[in-house]
Structures are given as structure tokens and as C-alpha cells.
Structure 1
């Protein structure tokens, strides 16, 4: 098996909803006839790969991928819109994801969205996603985890996630009511989509391991994207800071192994460093499809200086064990009596 645990999907009714909007996030057709997605960081061409599951499946077969996690497009910001507007749309999208899993014989695995403007509605939808639809979990904007205080605002949702067991991908994205940060003066794509994004992933992981969230919600698995950002390269500095400034409180590097990670849009050198720090049993294949179209197996895993066992672990074993555990948790909670 080859399981891609990081991709995005804009189908399931989102196309129609976004076409009807007049402000971002929205779809529009330019004067040259090209359909583009207007998002917080600009516009990009919107091809069939973003919303047609058959295109996705064909690409998977071409690359040898057997399973792919399709997520609600969290970075788009649709889940931040007023709940009265977006909650029915997200609910229909989640139904569609569940049906895609059935229609594809399990090859497509859906990670749901929730309407974050109203946490009561979000909690109810999360319970429905796990209890009734059987999807493994949800995607959340990572800006809610940039600090301990911000993470506390989502405790009702995390408590609901803990009820049936739940996987949560913490993906770059804004909070409700939050404006996009100022755009860099130059090199925008590189500064935002690489340097800033990797830094933000590290901030999220830091919040998770320095808080009580992992202990308070033990049935929830948290996925940090892009190999935890810069952590594989700065953890020794974090340890040095603790050793010199807080000698009685060592930096809890070992707690990083209580999170899960994907290698989306990264390559073999980054994967090697992450495996040394985090262990192959915490790392999963990831593509960030359709934003990136590289085959994650041949691009990142094959050239990496890892053992055959480590490569197999990253390619499918870590994800398979995690998804199986989530299924078992749900079965236990949903069994009468």
C-alpha cells in the first residue's frame, strides 16, 4: 500500500457555493476564460484536479498510490464564514466525502470540515462525522494553536472529538474574524508558502507539546503538516535554551513523538532529518495534491537514506495503524451497551 495522508478537495457542492460568492473565498472566470480561485493570498487557476474525484483517482493510479486522504480545503477559509451561511454547505460536503469512500472502495478517505463560527454547531457536526458518517476526523486552522490561550478557545470542540476518537489535521489557516497578515514586500510565494508556513507548523507543534492538550484528549490524534516545520532542524537549539535558561525544566523533545506528521511537499533530505528526530512510526506520506503534483513516494521516500523498514513505515504502515486505531475507537464507542 501507499497512503497519501495530505491532500485537499474542493468538490461536494463547494464549487457551486464559491461561484455564487462575491468576495473571497470565491470562484470567478477571468476575461480570458480561465476559472480561478480567489483566496486570501491571491488567485490560482482552478482545474478539474481540485474538484473531480475521478481525476484524483486517475492520478493516484498513475503514481501507484492506493489510498488518499481528501480534506476539506481548510486554508481556503470557507469554514470561517458565518455558520448560518456555511454550516449546511459543510454538512453536505461531509456527506459527499463519506459517499466517496464507499464509491471508491475505501481508496478515498475523507477528512471533514466543521463551521467554526459557531462551536455548538461545530461540535454537533463533529459528532455526526465520527458517529454517523464514520469519517476519521476533521481539519482545523492551525492559527488556533499559535499560543496556549488560543488553543483553549477550542476546548469544547476537542472534548467532542475525544468522545468517539478523532483525527485532527492542524493545517495553516486563519481563525474566525482574523484578517490575513500583511503580504511581504517581495518574494511573496517563497516567504509565505515556505519560510512562514514552516515556521507556523513549528509553532503549532510547540503549543501541542507544551500544553496539556495531548493528555486531556487522549482519544484525539493530532497531525502536524510538513514534518513539523523547522523542528527537525531547531530542536537542539530548543534543548539548549532550556538547558541554559531553565536547567530544572528540560525541553520535552520526547513529547514530539506523541504527534503525527506528514511529508507533504518536502523531499528526501527533510524526511531523513525528521525520521531521526521523530521516528518513522510517526511520519506519513503526503503530497499536498492538487496544489503540488509530485509523486510523494518516488520524490521523497525512494531517494531518502532510510532503511527499507523505515521507508515502508512512512509509505503506509504509520497511516494504516493510525486509521485502524481510529476505527477501533469508533466501534467501541458506537457499540450498544
Structure 2
């Protein structure tokens, strides 16, 4: 029996409680042909809504291009793709260097992490890679580099050197996930100011933390002066995404029409 079929797996929970849970498939980057088949199986047989991939696979347009066949399957199934921290398999060319530091490792990880996520945003929001895949949605963890991606996008919008047009158009398929490493009040407020509250979701990556409440309070502090934005970030954006992918829990269907 594979881990996907275990009674303790996410797929088992989705199968047993489809009104309470949804899930995405873990996809390999060493064999993208297998992952394309697995993504199709996740939708067609397991009741999942998409897949998870490492953000550095989209560090550059060159690296992203290697995922095109997988995104063709994602488009066919209207997938939700979740990008989280990490490198793809070394067979994926065009990723950033993996630098091993001898000092201040934790701080340098924060800096590199922001650079990696912001670079993926540059690829996905500011090239035409996603144009053939308009029905695919992307959730980017760590607030797109703790807000760095949003701030870089704002600089691109106001810079006289380039003409990017409407940021909301560029981010029409992209949601930034607060995550445990993207929940600083200043970063959340900056992302909302630049992109609008409809592009930010309170989300993932809290399992290692002893208590999610401080993180939740920081997000609330960032939206304390705007109840509509707070509601969007903490609930209605996620409800809208789940509804889009046919996975809105039954007891929340009353909120469907009010979600942005």
C-alpha cells in the first residue's frame, strides 16, 4: 500500500471527509513526466485540487519552462499549484546557487529565501509563462519572500525604466500566503497596500510552531484599520479559491457569493 492510500494520509482524509478537507499532491521534480501523470491521477481518482512544487523551480524563465508539460496537465484540470520553500532536483536547470554559509546562517537564510521567492514572482507574474494556463491558480508561500516580491513589483510599476502596467493584472492568478515566515505585520501590510487584500491569504506552514495565535495576531494587526481587508485575508479569499476549485466545504457554502 502506498503512502497516498494510507488511512492516515491526506487523500484518505479527503475521501472520508470531503466537506471538511481538501489537499494537493506532492509532485516530484526529478521525473516531471511522472508528476504530470500523478497530477492527473490526483484530480481524476483522488479528489485533490492540485499539487505542490518547490519555489526554486521557478527561479527563472529557463527553469520554469521545464515545467510546461506539467502545467499543460494543470490547465486541463484547473489545478491549484502551491509553491513552497526549496530547490527542485538538480536536473532542473536555471535554479539559484545553493550557498552554504559559515556565519549568520539563520539571517542569511531569510535573505536568500526572500530573493528566491521574489525571483519566482518575477518569473510567474512578469513573463508570459502563465499565459497558456489561465485556469491555473498559484499560492506562493512566505508572502512571496516576506513581502519582497510585492515590493519589487511596486518598484517595477513606478520605475521609469520599465513599463509593467497594472499589477492586479499580473497577479490575477497569484495569491501570496502569509505562512509562518511571511506573517510580519509590516510585510503583510505592504503586500496588501501594493497588491490589494484580495491577493493575500492567511495560510500554511504552522506545524512546527507551538502556538499559531501570535502569528494570527500579527496578521490581524496588519489589517486592524480595515475590517474588509481583514476578512478577505483571514477567510474570504481562501473560500473563493476553494470554491473556484470545487472544494468549498458544505457548511461554508453560504459564504460563496460574498467571497471576492
TM-score when normalising by structure 2: 0.80
Q: Deviations over 1:81-105 (max 9, x none)?
A: xxxxxxx55x547992121234456
Specify which of 235, 239, 247 is matched with residue 316 of structure 1: 235
C-alpha spacing 1:195/1:163, structure 2 compared with 1 (3 Å): same
Match of residue 190 from structure 1: 107
Match of residue 77 from structure 2: 164
C-alpha spacing 1:142/1:226, structure 2 compared with 1 (3 Å): same
Contact 2:167–2:195 (CA<8 Å) still a contact in 1?
no
Match of residue 171 from structure 2: 256
Match of residue 280 from structure 1: 197
Alpha-carbon distance in structure 2 between the residues aligned to 1:94 and 1:146:
36
**Shift of residue 288, structure 1, vs aligned partner:** 1.4
Contact 1:225–1:263 (CA<8 Å) still a contact in 2?
yes
Alpha-carbon distance in structure 1 between the residues aligned to 2:101 and 2:5:
37
Specify which of 29, 37, 60 is matched with residue 124 of structure 1: 37
Larger Rg computed on CA atoms = 1
**Shift of residue 277, structure 1, vs aligned partner:** 1.2
**Shift of residue 135, structure 1, vs aligned partner:** 1.1
**Shift of residue 323, structure 1, vs aligned partner:** 0.9
**Shift of residue 203, structure 1, vs aligned partner:** 0.5
Specify which of 178, 185, 190 is matched with residue 268 of structure 1: 185
Choose 281-290 or 232-241, whichever is displaced more: 232-241
Alpha-carbon distance in structure 1 between the residues aligned to 2:16 and 2:66:
37
Match of residue 225 from structure 1: 141
- Aligned-residue RMSD, C-alpha: 2.6
User: Which secondary structure does the structure 2 equivalent of 1:133 belong to?
Assistant: coil
Alpha-carbon distance in structure 2 between the residues aligned to 1:151 and 1:93:
32
Choose 148-157 or 260-269, whichever is displaced more: 260-269
Gaps of 5+ in 1: 1-12, 14-87, 329-337
